[in-house]
Structure 1
Amino acid sequence: MPFLDRADAGRRLARALVHLLPDKPVVLALPRGGVPVAAELAQALHAPLDLVIARKIGTPMQPEVAMGAVVDGDAPIVLRNEDIIRYARVSEDEFRVIANAEIGEIERRRERYLAGRPSVDVHDRVVVLVDDGIATGATVRAAIRAVRRRHPARMILALPVGPTAVVEQLRRDVDELVCLEVHDRFTSVGGFFVDFRPTSDEEVLAALARCPADPDETAMPSTPPGDGATAPRVLTGH
């Protein structure tokens, strides 16, 4: 297995992205599992760490199968996978109920993780979006679209592992994609980690505490790294 745990994956990504140090990037993590990975990268790059809170919208009978995704923003952005919706015979009412439940979970996480923490402005900045791996890519794709609306100068997707076909699809959506392990035969992200226990809320909070939104609050590394509801925007996709 290539990675000991998420922190190990983050340190390895940091070595692959050390060239970004002069760009003073912003690191954005997808919670929960992407946060321990992103925290290592943010510390190595002396970068601010912020969150992009996104949730997969699973089908009623198979929640692990993504029929869409929703991501936080000024108004939540809903990405629909029309092919899966038709195949699973999901009605509009069913889709709306599940999507609204995920929007509620996003609200819970935003309040839990980010209450009192300033948001990082990514306008005209180099942004590194980080997760702990991808399978279908639905959640990451929604996050990419949401971050694009904030007009970064350049967008980089950084991942420990993913399936070849999905990685190549996502490569077209960003300016640069770094994926340490790309495999044609792919079963699950967790299969590439020795320790892939679920990341807790407490671990997310601890990572945010040691990676402040203002990078000037941390020491520069001496060596390179070894509440009001709004109507969601709906985007269709395949």
Structure 2
Amino acid sequence: MDAATHLLDRVAALRTDDAIVLGLPRGGVPVAAVVAEGLGLPLDVIVVRKLGLPFQPEVAMGAIGEGGARLVDEDLVRRARVTPSQFAEVERRERATLERRVEQLRRGRPPRALAGRTAVIVDDGLATGSTAEVACRVARSLGARRVVVAAPIGPADVAARVPSADEVVCLLQPRWFQAVGEAYRDFAPTSDEEVILLLDAAHRRERGASSRTLAQVRHTQVAVPHEGLRLAADLSVPESPAGFVVFAHGSGSSRHSPRNRLVAETLQRVGLGTLLLDLLLVEEESDRANVFDIPLLARRLVSAVAWLGARDEASGLPVGYFGASTGAGAALWAAAEPSARIGAVVSRGGRPDLAGPRLGDVRAPTLLIVGGDDLVVLDLNRQALAQLRCEADLVIVPGATHLFEEPGTLAEAAIHARDWFLRHLAAGATAGAPGGPDDETGVRP
């Protein structure tokens, strides 16, 4: 990200032991992540919410933040004739949203201690300055000794709009400022998933866990041979991979599924290669019977693992399966093959029941991830868990439905999958070590 890299150069002097980088969600967090990693500093978020006019929500009459911080444009409130009860209702609603977002983005981790520290508050740009001002007040209320605001772009008089900051660093200050997006070639919205994964990656780095950037991953379009067919696939290989994960998508999806690709990128960042492939040809997909032909799909997964193991970059490395929906049934069916040497299986919103006759033969450690609001599939997964005789676990993601479309839920699933694969596909581990009836089986809420 060019904007973040240029900003990093300008704030390099802030590399001190007591400094912490705080991104403003959502757009400020990708910029803050680059700054934090470049300076070797901790990363957290500082969450604020705009208080929009009751009859024109896009116009801010104030803002609120953690710790009870509050900024009110008294002049606008008076001119718009907003009553105290109207203002209180807007604030109540936004305060509840703020608290939910804080819990979601930090995943239950406590906020960083700011007492006596330098808070570097980073956003993707400054427009009115009200959000940055509230963020500064939040940092002050939490004990920050010094507060610096940093952004790639803002109006020429931006510093005056953030009076609670000790310093404002703003790279571009156009005389005729129009919008934050004018500083970016790509100003696509940042998702909650991206924010959560960036914060989690920063947390891992602090614990000394290795990570890679996606720029260190080599992507290749390949064709996997199977019984005279050639299955289209995307192979991604990080530098010095620790293992590989083969993806089995569900009905109505493909290797281009944005949900599976987010999970794949999460795995690639920790050094796991991925193979996303289309188990059916385009002409085969029109026959719905093929979509639910679990033995057929499983045979093709077995061929994919054999093909992958013959390649130099994967030779001798452990392999796992990641299955979604019907793909999970195929992955478990394939993992139950007597000759299978699969190191781990993860099912996301899966249908493990479709591998019912073979569940008891699976020996690879298996993780079932299900949305808490996907009640029918949750019941099917609980039944499947009871039939598995290997090391197995069930993770329930609160608030998620079948496709994990709710904000933050897909990132939660990706993190659980990543941790399971790291645990079981570690370099040097014996892939597919047989389990037994005494292996641990548990359920985590």
Shorter-normalised TM range: 0.7 to 0.9
* Partner Cα distance (2:65, 2:208) in 1: 28
Say whether the 8 Å CA contact 1:135–1:189 is kept in structure 2: yes
- Judged with a 3 Å threshold, the aligned counterparts in structure 2 of structure 1 residues 81 and 43 are, in CA distance, closer, same or farther, namely same
* Partner Cα distance (1:159, 1:120) in 2: 21
Match of 2:42 in 1: 48
Residue in structure 1 matching 2:194, options 189, 192, 203: 203
What TM-score does the superposition give when structure 2 sets the normalisation length?
0.45
Give the aligned residue type for 1:203.
E
- Judged with a 3 Å threshold, the aligned counterparts in structure 2 of structure 1 residues 116 and 181 are, in CA distance, closer, same or farther, namely same
Question: Is the aligned partner of 1:95 residue 2:75?
Answer: no
Secondary structure of residue in 1 paired with 2:108: coil
Match of 1:108 in 2: 100
Question: Is the aligned partner of 1:71 residue 2:61?
Answer: no
Q: Deviations over 1:90-138 (max 9, x none)?
A: 1112211211221121112112111332422121112201111121111
Match of 1:217 in 2: 208
Match of 1:144 in 2: 136
Secondary structure of residue in 2 paired with 1:128: strand
Residue in structure 1 matching 2:22, options 8, 28, 33: 28
Question: Is the aligned partner of 1:10 residue 2:1?
Answer: no
Give the structure, 1 or 2, with the largest relative contact order (CA under 8 Å, sep 6 or more): 1
Residue in structure 2 matching 1:153, options 135, 138, 145: 145
Say whether the 8 Å CA contact 2:133–2:165 is kept in structure 1: no
Instruction: Give the total of aligned pairs.
Output: 210
Tell me by how many angstroms 1:173 deviates.
2.3
Secondary structure of residue in 2 paired with 1:164: coil
Structure 1 vs Structure 2 CA RMSD: 1.9
Tell me by how many angstroms 1:179 deviates.
0.4
Task: Give identity over the alignment, percent.
Answer: 42
Residue in structure 2 matching 1:135, options 110, 127, 130: 127
Say whether the 8 Å CA contact 2:121–2:149 is kept in structure 1: yes
Q: Deviations over 1:16-38 (max 9, x none)?
A: 11122244520011111111110
Which structure has the bigger radius of gyration?
Answer: 2
- Judged with a 3 Å threshold, the aligned counterparts in structure 2 of structure 1 residues 83 and 185 are, in CA distance, closer, same or farther, namely same
Match of 2:359 in 1: none
Give the aligned residue type for 2:65.
V
Q: Deviations over 1:25-58 (max 9, x none)?
A: 2001111111111000000011111111101111
Say whether the 8 Å CA contact 2:126–2:180 is kept in structure 1: yes
Could you tell me which runs of 5 or more consecutive residues in structure 2 were left unpaired when the two chains were aligned: 211-445
* Partner Cα distance (1:60, 1:13) in 2: 36
Q: Deviations over 1:159-201 (max 9, x none)?
A: 111112233332x422221101112311221232222122111
Residue in structure 1 matching 2:161, options 147, 164, 169: 169
